[in-house]
A and B are shown apart, each in its own frame.
Chain A
Amino acid sequence: MTRLFGLFKVCMKAAKSGQATLAFSRRFSYSCNSLLRGLLLIAFSVVLDGCAEVQPWERGNLAKPHMGLQPFPSQAALREHIYGSRESASGSTASSGGGGCGCY
Chain B
Amino acid sequence: MISLLAQSLRSLGLKGPVALTASALNRLRRPNPKALSLSGPSILSEPSALSALRAAALALPGLVAQNPMAVAAPGDILDLQYGSYKQTPWQLLDGLKSQYTPLQVDNIEANGLLTFSDRWKFGFNYAQDTWSGATPVSSAPNALVGNNPSAAGASPLVRGNGTILYDKKLTPYRLDDTTANYVPDKRLVQTVASASPEIRNQGNFRLGYEWDESALNLGGGVSQEPDYNSAFGSLNGRMDFNQKLTAVNLGLNYANSDINALVNPLYSPYVDQSYYAAKGQIDTVQNSSGVPGHYLTGNRQDWSTHLSVNQVMNKDLLLESGVGFIRSTGYLGNPYKAVDMVFVDTKGAPVPPIDSSSTTSLYAPVVQAVVERRPEERNQGMWDFRLVQFVEATDASVHGGYRFFVDDWGITAHTFDLDWVQPVEAWTVTPRFRYYSQNGASFYQPYFLFQGKAPVGPSGHFNLAGVPLNAYSSDYRLSAYGAISGGLTVARPIGKAMAFEAGFEYYAHGGDLRLGGAGQGSWSNFDYYQFNAAVKVDLSAVSNAKLSAEPDHEGHDHGGNHRQDHLGMDGPSGILFNHMLANAGDTMVGVRYAYELQQGGMMHGTSPVSDRQIVATGCGPTIKCTFTPKQMDMGMVMVDLMYAPTDWLTLMLMPQFMSMDMHLRRLDGSPDPSGGSHAGHGANPYHATGGVGDIFMGSLFKLYEEEGHKIHFTLGFTAPTGSINQRINGNSEFEHYGMQLGTGTWDIWPSLTYNGYHGDFNWGGQLSGNVPLQSYNASGFAVGNLFEATAWGGYQIQDWLSGSLRALYTHQDAISGHYPAPFVPSGPMDTPQSYGGQYLDIGIGLNAAVHSGDFEGNHFGLEWLQPAYTDYNGYQLERTGTLWANWSLAF
Q: Bound state CA distance, A40 and B318, in angstroms?
A: 12
User: Known: A51-B311, A73-B16, A74-B109. Is A101-B242 also a contact (CB below 8 A)?
Assistant: no
Structural contact, A54 and B315, CB atoms closer than 8 A: yes
CB distance from B122 to the nearest CB of A (A): 15
Structural contact, A63 and B6, CB atoms closer than 8 A: yes
Structural contact, A18 and B19, CB atoms closer than 8 A: no
User: Known: A97-B220, A104-B105. Is A65-B242 also a contact (CB below 8 A)?
Assistant: no
Structural contact, B441 and A98, CB atoms closer than 8 A: no
Instruction: Kindly supply a per-residue 1/0 record for chain B positions 161-196, scoring 1 wherever the CB is within 8 Å of any chain A CB and 0 otherwise.
Output: 000000000000000000000000000000000000
User: Known: A18-B211, A75-B501. Is A54-B314 also a contact (CB below 8 A)?
Assistant: yes
Q: Which A55-101 residues sit within 8 Å CB-CB of chain B?
A: 56-75, 78-79, 82-83, 86-90, 92-94, 96-101
List the one stretch of B77-85, B601-609, B671-679, B757-765 in contact with chain A.
B77-85
Q: Which A1-31 residues sit within 8 Å CB-CB of chain B?
A: 11-12, 15-16, 18, 25, 29
Whether a CB of chain A sits under 8 angstroms from the CB of B839 is no
User: Known: A15-B214, A52-B314. Is A94-B532 also a contact (CB below 8 A)?
Assistant: no
Q: Bound state CA distance, A50 and B245, in angstroms?
A: 13
List the one stretch of B148-156, B247-255, B554-562 in contact with chain A.
B247-255
Q: Bound state CA distance, A70 and B430, in angstroms?
A: 12
Whether a CB of chain A sits under 8 angstroms from the CB of B397 is yes
Q: Which B240-280 residues sit within 8 Å CB-CB of chain A?
A: 241-243, 245-246, 248-249, 251, 253-255, 257
Q: Bound state CA distance, A79 and B457, in angstroms?
A: 48
Instruction: Kindly supply a per-residue 1/0 record for chain B positions 212-226, scoring 1 wherever the CB is within 8 Å of any chain A CB and 0 otherwise.
Output: 111000011111010
CB distance from A56 to the nearest CB of B (A): 4
Closest A residue to B386 using CB positions: A69
CB distance from A49 to the nearest CB of B (A): 8
Structural contact, A56 and B105, CB atoms closer than 8 A: no
Structural contact, B397 and A66, CB atoms closer than 8 A: yes
Structural contact, A36 and B236, CB atoms closer than 8 A: no
Chain B residues touching A, range: 35 or more
Structural contact, A89 and B438, CB atoms closer than 8 A: yes
Q: Bound state CA distance, A32 and B248, in angstroms?
A: 12
CB distance from B735 to the nearest CB of A (A): 19
CB distance from A84 to the nearest CB of B (A): 10
User: Known: A54-B312, A97-B221, A99-B231. Is A83-B436 also a contact (CB below 8 A)?
Assistant: yes
Chain B hits for A25, CB < 8 A: 213
Q: Which B492-514 residues sit within 8 Å CB-CB of chain A?
A: 501, 503, 505, 507, 509
Chain B hits for A33, CB < 8 A: 241-242, 246
CB distance from A12 to the nearest CB of B (A): 8
Q: Which B528-547 residues sit within 8 Å CB-CB of chain A?
A: 528, 530, 532, 534
CB distance from A43 to the nearest CB of B (A): 6
Structural contact, B223 and A97, CB atoms closer than 8 A: no
Chain B hits for A89, CB < 8 A: 380, 382, 403, 405, 411, 413, 415, 436, 438
Whether a CB of chain B sits under 8 angstroms from the CB of A103 is yes
Structural contact, A94 and B436, CB atoms closer than 8 A: no
Structural contact, A74 and B79, CB atoms closer than 8 A: yes
Q: Which of B19, B245, B505 contacts A79 (CB 8 A)?
A: B505
Whether a CB of chain A sits under 8 angstroms from the CB of B316 is yes
Q: Bound state CA distance, A52 and B222, in angstroms?
A: 44
Closest B residue to A11 using CB positions: B241
Chain A hits for B428, CB < 8 A: 65-66, 71
| Residue in A29, A39, A89, A96 whose Cβ sees the most chain B Cβ within 10 Å | A89
User: Known: A18-B214, A88-B411. Is A40-B436 also a contact (CB below 8 A)?
Assistant: no
Structural contact, B423 and A69, CB atoms closer than 8 A: no
User: Known: A82-B530, A87-B413, A100-B230. Is A61-B1 also a contact (CB below 8 A)?
Assistant: no
User: Known: A86-B509, A88-B478. Is A75-B503 also a contact (CB below 8 A)?
Assistant: yes
Structural contact, B233 and A88, CB atoms closer than 8 A: no
Closest A residue to B405 using CB positions: A89
List the one stretch of B320-328, B614-622, B623-631, B647-655 in contact with chain A.
B320-328
Chain A hits for B306, CB < 8 A: 92-94
Q: Bound state CA distance, A74 and B245, in angstroms?
A: 25
Q: Which B417-463 residues sit within 8 Å CB-CB of chain A?
A: 421, 423, 428, 430, 436, 438, 441
Chain A hits for B15, CB < 8 A: 73-74
Instruction: Kindly supply a per-residue 1/0 record for chain B positions 305-340, scoring 1 wherever the CB is within 8 Å of any chain A CB and 0 otherwise.
Output: 010111111111011111010100000001000000
CB distance from A55 to the nearest CB of B (A): 9
Closest B residue to A104 using CB positions: B131
Closest A residue to B224 using CB positions: A100
Chain B hits for A62, CB < 8 A: 3, 6-7, 10, 312, 315-316, 318, 390
CB distance from A69 to the nearest CB of B (A): 6
Structural contact, A72 and B491, CB atoms closer than 8 A: yes
Closest B residue to A56 using CB positions: B4
Whether a CB of chain B sits under 8 angstroms from the CB of A46 is no
User: Known: A74-B81, A75-B501. Is A67-B388 also a contact (CB below 8 A)?
Assistant: yes
Q: Bound state CA distance, A82 and B409, in angstroms?
A: 21
Structural contact, A74 and B16, CB atoms closer than 8 A: yes
| Residue in B5, B309, B319 whose Cβ sees the most chain A Cβ within 10 Å | B319
Structural contact, A36 and B22, CB atoms closer than 8 A: no
Q: Bound state CA distance, A75 and B79, in angstroms?
A: 11
Chain B hits for A57, CB < 8 A: 1, 3-4
Structural contact, A88 and B103, CB atoms closer than 8 A: no
| Residue in B20, B253, B403, B534 whose Cβ sees the most chain A Cβ within 10 Å | B253
Structural contact, A93 and B213, CB atoms closer than 8 A: no
Whether a CB of chain A sits under 8 angstroms from the CB of B564 is no
User: Known: A59-B315, A79-B505, A83-B436. Is A90-B534 also a contact (CB below 8 A)?
Assistant: no
Whether a CB of chain A sits under 8 angstroms from the CB of B483 is yes
| Residue in A15, A40, A83 whose Cβ sees the most chain B Cβ within 10 Å | A15
Structural contact, B413 and A99, CB atoms closer than 8 A: no
Q: Which B4-59 residues sit within 8 Å CB-CB of chain A?
A: 4-7, 10, 15-16, 18-22, 25
Chain B hits for A64, CB < 8 A: 22, 390, 395, 397
Structural contact, A88 and B315, CB atoms closer than 8 A: no
Instruction: Kindly supply a per-residue 1/0 record for chain B positions 813-840, scoring 1 wherever the CB is within 8 Å of any chain A CB and 0 otherwise.
Output: 0000000000000000000000000000
Structural contact, B3 and A98, CB atoms closer than 8 A: no
Whether a CB of chain A sits under 8 angstroms from the CB of B779 is no
User: Known: A59-B7, A102-B225, A104-B105. Is A93-B326 also a contact (CB below 8 A)?
Assistant: yes
Structural contact, A87 and B253, CB atoms closer than 8 A: no
Q: Bound state CA distance, A24 and B477, in angstroms?
A: 54
Q: Bound state CA distance, A32 and B85, in angstroms?
A: 46
CB distance from A86 to the nearest CB of B (A): 7
Q: Which of A15, A78, A97 contacts B253 (CB 8 A)?
A: A97
User: Known: A36-B246, A94-B249, A98-B234. Is A74-B397 also a contact (CB below 8 A)?
Assistant: no
Instruction: Kindly supply a per-residue 1/0 record for chain B positions 77-101, scoring 1 wherever the CB is within 8 Å of any chain A CB and 0 otherwise.
Output: 0010101010000000000000000
14 other contacts beyond A16-B214, A99-B230, with CB at 8 A cut-off? A18-B214, A54-B245, A62-B10, A69-B318, A74-B534, A82-B85, A87-B438, A88-B409, A93-B304, A94-B253, A97-B232, A99-B255, A101-B200, A102-B223
Mind listing 9 A-B residue pairs with CB under 8 Å?
A60-B3, A63-B21, A66-B423, A89-B436, A94-B308, A100-B200, A100-B223, A100-B255, A102-B129
> What are the nearest 7 A-B pairs in CB distance?
A99-B232, A63-B6, A100-B223, A97-B234, A68-B18, A89-B405, A89-B413
Residues in B lying within 8 Å of A, measured CB to CB: 1-7, 10, 15-16, 18-22, 25, 79, 81, 83, 85, 103, 105, 107, 109, 111, 125, 129, 131, 135, 200, 202, 204, 206, 211-214, 219-223, 225, 228, 230-234, 236, 239, 241-243, 245-246, 248-249, 251, 253-255, 257, 302, 304, 306, 308-316, 318-322, 324, 326, 334, 380, 382, 384, 386, 388, 390, 392, 395-397, 399, 403, 405, 407, 409, 411, 413, 415, 421, 423, 428, 430, 436, 438, 441, 477-478, 483, 489, 491, 501, 503, 505, 507, 509, 528, 530, 532, 534
